[in-house]
Amino acid sequence: MNVQTDTKLQSFLSGFEGVRENAIQNEAWDALQYLDFPTTRDEYWKYTRISKIANAKLSSGKASNTILDLEKHLLSDQFVIIENGIFRADLSSFDLSKVNVKVESTDTLVQTTANMDELFQAMNTALAEQTLFISIPKKQVWETPVQVIYITTENQIMSNTRLVFESEDFAEGHVITTFINEGNSQSLSNHYTEVLVAENAHLKLDKIQVGNGWHVATENVWQDGNSTFKINTMTLKGDIVRNNLNIEVAGENCETFLNGAVITKENQLVDNHSFVNHLVSNCMSDENYKYVLDGKSTGVFNGRVVVQPDAQKINAYQQNGNVLLSDFAKINSKPELEIYADDVKCSHGSTTGQLDEDALFYLQARGISKDKARKILVSAFVGEVLQSLDNEKVLAYVNQVLFDEFGWTEM
Amino acid sequence: MSKTLLNIENLHAEIEDKQILKGLNLKVNAGEIHAIMGPNGAGKSTLASVLSGRDGYEMTEGKVDFDGTDLMELDPDERAKEGLFLAFQYPVEIPGVSNINFLRTALNEIREYRKEEPVSAKEFMTMVRERSQIVELDSKLASRSVNVGFSGGEKKRNEIFQMAMLEPKLAILDETDSGLDIDALRIVAAGVNKLKNENNAVVLITHYQRLLDYIKPDFVHVLADGKIIKTGGPELALELEEKGYDWLTK
Per-residue confidence at A311, pLDDT binned at 50, 70, 90? very high
Which of A364, A384, A399, A408 is best to mutate for the B interface (most B CBs within 10 A)? Answer: A364
Using DSSP bridges, classify how beta strands B69-70 and B57-66 pair: parallel, antiparallel or unpaired.
Answer: antiparallel
The answer on pLDDT for A122 being more than 90 is yes
Per-residue confidence at A170, pLDDT binned at 50, 70, 90? very high
| Edge-to-edge order in the sheet of strand B4-15 | B18-29, B4-15, B57-66, B69-70
The angle formed by the CA atoms of residues B187, B190 and B192, to the nearest 5 degrees, is 110
Per-residue confidence at A54, pLDDT binned at 50, 70, 90? very high
pLDDT score at A1? 45
For range A201-213, the mean pLDDT: 97
A335 and A231 both lie in a single domain: yes
Q: Spell out which residues of chain A touch residue B101, defining contact as CB-CB under 8 Å.
A: 411
- Mean residue pLDDT of chain B comes to 93
Indicate the residue of B75, B105, B106 with minimum beta-carbon distance to A370.
B75
CA distance B11 to chain A (A): 21
Which of B54, B77, B85, B173 is best to mutate for the A interface (most A CBs within 10 A)? Answer: B77
SS3 content of chain A, % helix, strand, coil (to 5): 20, 40, 40
Contact yes or no for A377 and B97 at CB 8 A: yes
Count the helices and strands in chain B (H runs, E runs).
Answer: 9, 12
Q: What is the DSSP string of A107-137?
A: GG-------TTSHHHHHHHHH--EEEEEEEP
A241 and A386 both lie in a single domain: no
CA distance B33 to chain A (A): 21
Contact yes or no for B102 and A381 at CB 8 A: no
Contact yes or no for A367 and B98 at CB 8 A: no
For range B112-129, the mean pLDDT: 94
Which of B57, B105, B110, B119 is best to mutate for the A interface (most A CBs within 10 A)? Answer: B105
Indicate the residue of A356, A368, A370 with minimum beta-carbon distance to B105.
A368
Query: Is residue A4, in this structure, part of any structural domain at all?
Result: no
A393 and A290 both lie in a single domain: no
Which of B82, B92, B161 is best to mutate for the A interface (most A CBs within 10 A)? Answer: B92
pLDDT score at A410? 64
Q: Spell out which residues of chain A touch residue B54, defining contact as CB-CB under 8 Å.
A: 361
3-state secondary structure of A223: strand
Query: Is residue A48, in this structure, part of any structural domain at all?
Result: yes
A361 touches chain B (CB under 8 A): yes
A41 and A119 both lie in a single domain: yes
pLDDT score at A411? 59
A387 and A312 both lie in a single domain: no
Closest CA relative to residue A257, chosen from A249, A267, A266: A249
For range A192-213, the mean pLDDT: 97
Q: Which A positions 299-358 lie with beta carbon below 8 A of chain B?
A: 356-358
Specify burial of residue B232 (Cβ count, 10 A radius: 0-12, 13-18, 19+): middle
For range A305-310, the mean pLDDT: 96
Indicate the residue of A365, A379, A411 with minimum beta-carbon distance to B52.
A365
Indicate the residue of B86, B101, B103 with minimum beta-carbon distance to A365.
B86
pLDDT score at A3? 46
Indicate the residue of B76, B96, B107 with minimum beta-carbon distance to A365.
B76
Query: Is residue A10, in this structure, part of any structural domain at all?
Result: no
Closest-CA residue of chain A to B105: A368
Return the half-sphere exposure (C-beta side, CA atoms, 13 A cut-off) of residue A141: 4
Query: Is residue A75, in this structure, part of any structural domain at all?
Result: yes
Last-in-domain residue among A338, A356, A374: A356
For range B158-167, the mean pLDDT: 96
Please give the C-alpha separations between residue A402 and each of A183, A396, B78, B145, in angstroms, as whole numbers. 21, 10, 26, 21
Closest-CA residue of chain B to A384: B96
Cα–Cα dist A24/A391, whole Å: 37
Report the percent of chain B where pLDDT is more than 70. Answer: 99
A337 and A215 both lie in a single domain: yes
Q: Out of A17-26, B84-93, B146-155, which region has the weakest mean confidence (pLDDT)?
A: A17-26
A262 and A363 both lie in a single domain: no
Element (H, E) at A395: helix A392-406
Q: Give the model confidence (pLDDT) of A56-93 as tens digits.
A: 999 998 888 899 999 999 999 999 999 999 999 999 99
Last-in-domain residue among A312, A336, A356: A356
Q: Give the model confidence (pLDDT) of A243-260 as tens digits.
A: 999 999 999 999 999 999
Size of interface A-B (CB pairs under 8 A): 85
Contact yes or no for B88 and A367 at CB 8 A: no
Contact yes or no for B80 and A372 at CB 8 A: no
A162 and A201 both lie in a single domain: yes
The answer on pLDDT for B171 being more than 60 is yes
B111 touches chain A (CB under 8 A): no
Q: A236 near A211, Cβ under 8 Å?
A: no
Q: Spell out which residues of chain A touch residue B97, defining contact as CB-CB under 8 Å.
A: 363, 376-377, 380, 411
Q: Which residues contact A47 (CB under 8 A, 6 or more apart)?
A: A40, A271, A298, A300, A332
Closest-CA residue of chain B to A387: B96
The answer on pLDDT for A212 being more than 80 is yes
Indicate the residue of A364, A381, A409 with minimum beta-carbon distance to B77.
A364
**Better-scored residue on pLDDT, B138 or A281:** A281
Query: Is residue A96, in this structure, part of any structural domain at all?
Result: yes
Q: Which domain holds residue A380?
A: 357-411
Cα–Cα dist A382/A390, whole Å: 14
- Specify the length of chain B in residues: 250
Cα–Cα dist B170/B187, whole Å: 20
Q: A40 near A48, Cβ under 8 Å?
A: yes
Query: Is residue A304, in this structure, part of any structural domain at all?
Result: yes
**Better-scored residue on pLDDT, A41 or A15:** A41
pLDDT score at B193? 96
B80 touches chain A (CB under 8 A): yes
The answer on pLDDT for A352 being more than 70 is yes
Indicate the residue of A361, A365, A376 with minimum beta-carbon distance to B97.
A376
Distance of CA B178 to the CA centre of its chain: 13
A115 and A44 both lie in a single domain: yes
Closest-CA residue of chain A to B88: A362
A232 and A329 both lie in a single domain: yes
What domains are there in chain B, each with its CATH number? 4-249 (3.40.50.300)
Last-in-domain residue among A329, A356, A383: A356
Determine how many CB atoms are found less than 10 A away from the CB of residue B2: 11
Cα–Cα dist B103/A358, whole Å: 17
Distance of CA B137 to the CA centre of its chain: 19
CA distance A411 to chain B (A): 6
Query: Is residue A2, in this structure, part of any structural domain at all?
Result: no
Radius of gyration of chain A (CA): 21
Cα–Cα dist A137/B7, whole Å: 77
The answer on pLDDT for A103 being more than 60 is yes
The answer on pLDDT for B117 being more than 50 is yes
A371 and A266 both lie in a single domain: no
A256 and A166 both lie in a single domain: yes
pLDDT score at A19? 62
Which of B45, B55, B97, B166 is best to mutate for the A interface (most A CBs within 10 A)? Answer: B97
Number of domains in chain A: 2
Contact yes or no for B92 and A411 at CB 8 A: no
Query: Is residue A1, in this structure, part of any structural domain at all?
Result: no
Can you point out the beta strands (E) in A129-184?
130-136, 146-152, 157-167, 172-181
pLDDT score at A2? 46
Answer yes or no: is the ipTM higher than 0.90.
Answer: yes
CA distance B74 to chain A (A): 11
Determine how many CB atoms are found less than 10 A away from the CB of residue B45: 18
3-state secondary structure of A354: coil
Closest CA relative to residue A135, chosen from A185, A101, A94: A101
The answer on pLDDT for A5 being more than 70 is no
Closest CA relative to residue B173, chosen from B139, B137, B164, B181: B164
Q: Spell out which residues of chain A touch residue B96, defining contact as CB-CB under 8 Å.
A: 379-381, 383-384, 411
- Mean residue pLDDT of chain A comes to 94
